[in-house]
């Protein structure tokens, strides 16, 4: 742990058995790599179990209650954008669920009290043509719309005449899961058809019929580790003041501790727990961090306004001739 970065190295182990399924990609499969050891020793076969992008999704997910379609109570008082259908007001999505957060198409193509969100965001972020970006004004405006965007980043990518300067806020928390000294575990199975003993056109495997064998590849490893880095300098660079900076740090650490305490069920066949005997002394307990968040929300009430969800209405974009969206 350093003054500019908060770093945590947390050993993990499979919750059941000793094998796990890493992230896989259609074109390259599992993300294996060789880590140099130096001194002429052979490199060690390693594996990226979970990428920084995927871990950001997992960290954000601990703050969302799927059943309630709202943030968990530990994050009460923090504003967020709730996207509702324009016709009947039903919940669609939110800045906490969308991959691009406040810059999501569902957010920017919505309206707030009749004003297009593209215009609202442009005005609140004080974006002007041929004018340098005011990064502190941008951070302050984002803090009032959804502070978690200052933790996980947001990129306001739009045409220059819509969002001049296309401001970008980098991710302030980075987490990855790596495995060291890995070995492949190859297995397989079969999807059985108990009804049709033979298939023909219309009832073949492409339609989902028949008995279909398949293979799968999992891994075992000597070590599995969650690596986390929280950029305190980035939080301070927003210029929001001590209380807001402390609040953002508390949110980031609360997400990490909550994810660790809940267990990292990354996929069906990748369920990881903190390894037996692992020390988490440098990472405060969840109830302590939740209290820091509550205190921070109270201390920053003037910057967060009332902390209520910001309801916007989304209308499906219309198409003109040729299938192109009409302006």
Could you read off the pLDDT of 149-159 as tens digits, one per residue? 999 999 999 88
Which candidate, 182, 181, 260, 206, places its Cα nearest to that of 228? 260
Instruction: Specify the pLDDT at position 304.
Output: 93
Strand partners, 319: 325
Instruction: Specify the pLDDT at position 322.
Output: 47
Measured between alpha carbons, how far is 215 from 156 in angstroms, rounded to an integer?
A: 42
What proportion of the chain, given as a percentage, has pLDDT over 70? 97
Question: 316 is written with which tokens?
Answer: 């499906």
Judge whether residue 2 has pLDDT over 80. Answer: no
Coil/strand/helix, residue 7: strand
Coil/strand/helix, residue 178: strand
Question: 127 is written with which tokens?
Answer: 């974006």
* Average pLDDT of the residues in 5-9: 94
Of 54-63, 102-111, 188-197, 264-273, the poorest mean pLDDT is in 188-197
Of 100-114, 221-235, 270-284, 289-303, the poorest mean pLDDT is in 270-284
Query: Which pLDDT tens digit goes with each residue over 250-278?
Result: 999 999 999 999 999 999 899 999 998 78
Instruction: Specify the pLDDT at position 188.
Output: 83
pLDDT confidence tier of residue 231, bands split at 50, 70 and 90: very high
Of 154 and 315, which is predicted with more confidence? 154
Which candidate, 151, 178, 177, places its Cα nearest to that of 254? 151
Of 129-133, 170-174, 210-214, 319-323, the poorest mean pLDDT is in 319-323
Tokens 């397989």 appear where? 188
- For 11-80, the DSSP string reads EEEESSSS-B---EETTTEE-EEEE---TTPPPEEEEEEE-HHHHHHHHHHTTEETTTTEE-GGGTT---
The phi, psi pair for 88, rounded to 5°, reads -130, 5
Query: Average pLDDT of the chain?
Result: 91
Judge whether residue 326 has pLDDT over 60. Answer: no
User: Using alpha carbons only, what angle is made at residue 276 by residues 261 and 59, rounded to the nearest 5 degrees?
Assistant: 25
* Average pLDDT of the residues in 47-52: 95
Which candidate, 114, 92, 124, places its Cα nearest to that of 105? 92
* Average pLDDT of the residues in 227-249: 97
Torsion sign (Cα): 274, 279, 281, 283: negative
**Residue 31: exposure state from Cβ atoms within 10 A (0-12, 13-18, ≥19):** middle
The phi, psi pair for 276, rounded to 5°, reads -55, 130
Judge whether residue 1 has pLDDT over 60. Answer: no
Instruction: Specify the pLDDT at position 320.
Output: 61
* Average pLDDT of the residues in 217-232: 96
Of 21-35, 88-102, 141-155, 201-215, the poorest mean pLDDT is in 201-215
Contact 247, 147 (CB under 8 A): yes
Contact 204, 243 (CB under 8 A): no
Residue spans per domain, the chain: 5-66+77-193+212-314
Query: Which pLDDT tens digit goes with each residue over 191-222?
Result: 887 887 777 777 777 777 887 787 888 999 99
Strand partners, 37: none
């Amino acid at each position: 742990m350093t003054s500019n970065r908060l770093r945590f190295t947390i050993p993990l182990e499979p919750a059941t058995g000793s094998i796990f399924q890493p992230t896989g990609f259609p074109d390259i499969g599992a993300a294996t790599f060789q880590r140099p050891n130096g001194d002429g020793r052979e490199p060690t076969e390693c594996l990226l179990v979970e990428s920084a992008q995927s871990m950001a999704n997992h960290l954000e997910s601990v703050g969302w209650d799927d059943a309630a379609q709202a943030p968990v109570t530990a994050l009460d008082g923090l504003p967020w954008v709730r996207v509702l259908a324009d016709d009947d007001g039903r919940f669609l999505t939110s800045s906490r669920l969308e991959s691009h957060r406040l810059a999501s198409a569902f957010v920017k193509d919505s309206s707030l009290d009749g004003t297009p969100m593209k215009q609202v965001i442009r005005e609140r972020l004080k974006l002007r043509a041929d004018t340098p970006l005011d990064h502190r004004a941008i951070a302050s405006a984002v803090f009032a719309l959804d502070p978690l965007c200052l933790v996980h980043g947001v990129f306001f990518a739009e045409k220059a005449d819509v969002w001049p300067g296309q401001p970008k806020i980098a991710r302030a928390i980075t987490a990855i899961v790596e495995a060291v000294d890995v070995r492949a575990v190859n297995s397989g199975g079969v999807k059985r058809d108990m009804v049709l003993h033979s298939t023909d056109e219309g009832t073949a495997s492409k339609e989902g019929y028949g008995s279909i064998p398949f293979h799968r590849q999992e891994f075992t490893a000597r070590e599995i580790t969650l690596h986390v880095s929280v950029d305190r300098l980035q939080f301070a660079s927003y210029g929001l003041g001590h209380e807001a900076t402390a609040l953002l740090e508390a949110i980031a650490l609360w997400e990490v501790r909550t994810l660790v305490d809940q267990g990292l069920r990354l996929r069906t066949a990748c369920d990881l727990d903190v390894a037996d005997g692992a020390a988490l002394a440098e990472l405060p307990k969840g109830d302590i961090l939740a209290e820091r968040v509550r205190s921070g929300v109270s201390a920053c009430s003037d910057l967060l306004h009332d902390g209520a969800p910001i309801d916007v209405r989304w209308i499906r974009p219309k198409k003109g001739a040729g299938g192109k969206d009409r302006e």
